[in-house]
Structure 1
Amino acid sequence: MDPQQLAALTDRARRLAVPGARRILGLAGAPGAGKSTLAARLVDRLDGLAALVPMDGFHLAGAELRRLGRSDRKGAPDTFDAAGYAALLARLRAAEPGTTVYAPAFDRALEEPVAGSIPVAPDVPLVVTEGNYLLHDAGPWASVRALLDEVWFLEPDEHLRVHRLIERHVRFGKDRPHAERWVRESDEANARLVATGRHRADLVVPVP
């Protein structure tokens, strides 16, 4: 992303960060679209005005996915605690004075969620959240959009997105044939579903 585009997005996010209020900015997009990278860069540039709470902390644990028979579809909408994510967003919007809210994170090395990992102080005016299904309108996901003040949909070059996604899986332990098969059979099915929510975004962000 070029510096001018990043500066413009930072300025737009900064307008949401009004002291004394609590707003939530969502970054949506397909697996490998660059959501976590952009979210982290925005939070860093906002100098303490924002906290990052990824949707991925609401992955179901591996043991539960195995119990449900969903391990081979990890990353699909029904492999997350969507209702729990929505409940956290509602709690974050309330921002009770003097109360720090703790959000879960996702450890990619362990491939597991880790509870209570991300503190969100009550005086932080903006929460940035990112994930695949912020614009999904089925089941418990349907309540998420109304809890977000703005949602940006990231739209990268598809060839580069798939390449980056394969490389990420390899970096975190999958052998290359397994990574390529997982992207082809799982991640890309999820990407097609994510794309159906594009029209519900406030802004579409081209990502190089």
Structure 2
Amino acid sequence: MPTPSIDALVARVVGLLDDRPRIVVGIAGAPGSGKSSLARKLTRRLETAGVPAVQVPMDGFHLADVTLDALGLRHRKGAIETFDAHGYVALLRRLLDVPQHAVHAPGFERRLEQPVAAAVTVPPTTRVVVTEGNYLLDAHDPWPEARALMAEVWYVELDENRRRSRLVERHVASGKNRAAAQAWVDDVDEPNAQRVRDRRERADLVIATD
């Protein structure tokens, strides 16, 4: 199947809106596959098309390092159990149930590798919330609740060598030496990626990224 153009994706989202005041569109994929880049591009193009849109990352629900240390999970950061999944579901529900109020959502600072409270504002005029994250298609509770709140979830994939190389560079940029970055990709990111890939067929659309 040919990869849809960004214009085709925008048209698809507009078709999903129908007469609903607001929808959430999810973008899933393995770590480093290009989810955030596609979410930013889609959000910008929706805005250009006159459809108010805001990007709300699942990464804002990363547990902070201090919490991961308390739970003994710092070495697993990025695994499914290192996110506040119930908090994420509650935010999605709030975004859909009370669109008449501004909602302040957490963001994620990539340089610090930490969540940032109230970093994203979703104003009442927002028609589309674009959210991206690894586990949007996961079967483990409560992720199916999150999936049920989304109009569609798309899956993005990238050539595996490029994806892994991109992850190594991301970890180096955040302060790891290259050997430690490679080890983290092999030992932590890859098991997470396999879990995500196992749910690929549940997506409404598969998109190849570059």
Spell out, residue by residue over 1:84-129, the C-alpha distance to the aligned partner (whole angstroms, 9 max, x if none).
Answer: 00000001111342x1001000111222111111100112110000
Counting matched residue pairs gives 206
Q: Which residue of 1 aligns with 2:126?
A: 124
Equivalent residue letter for 2:90: A
TM alignment of 1:35-184, pairs within 5 A: 35-47=35-47, 49-97=52-100, 99-184=101-186
- TM-score, structure 1 normalization: 0.93
Equivalent residue letter for 2:188: S
2: CA distance, partners of 1:201 / 1:191:
15
1: CA distance, partners of 2:145 / 2:208:
26
Q: How far off its partner does 1:76 sit?
A: 0.4
2: CA distance, partners of 1:145 / 1:53:
15
Equivalent residue letter for 1:105: G
Q: Which residue of 2 aligns with 1:34?
A: 34
Residues 17, 49 of structure 1: 8 Å contact kept: no
Equivalent residue letter for 1:7: D
Equivalent residue letter for 1:164: R
Residues 28, 133 of structure 2: 8 Å contact kept: yes
Using the aligned pairs only, state the percent identity.
50
In terms of mean alpha carbon deviation, does 44-53 or 189-198 score higher?
44-53
Spell out, residue by residue over 1:2-21, the C-alpha distance to the aligned partner (whole angstroms, 9 max, x if none).
Answer: x9722222222233355761
Spell out, residue by residue over 1:35-54, the C-alpha distance to the aligned partner (whole angstroms, 9 max, x if none).
Answer: 00000011111115210000
Secondary structure of 2:5's counterpart equals: helix
2: CA distance, partners of 1:95 / 1:43:
21
In terms of mean alpha carbon deviation, does 79-88 or 142-151 score higher?
142-151
**CA, structure 1 residues 150+42, in 2 after alignment: closer, same or farther (shift >3 Å)?**
same
1: CA distance, partners of 2:74 / 2:92:
26
In terms of mean alpha carbon deviation, does 42-51 or 186-195 score higher?
42-51
Q: CA RMSD in A?
A: 1.8
Secondary structure of 1:144's counterpart equals: helix
In terms of mean alpha carbon deviation, does 6-15 or 126-135 score higher?
6-15
Equivalent residue letter for 1:8: A
Residues 21, 99 of structure 2: 8 Å contact kept: no
Residues 22, 99 of structure 2: 8 Å contact kept: no
Secondary structure of 1:33's counterpart equals: coil
- TM-score, structure 2 normalization: 0.92
In terms of mean alpha carbon deviation, does 172-181 or 78-87 score higher?
172-181
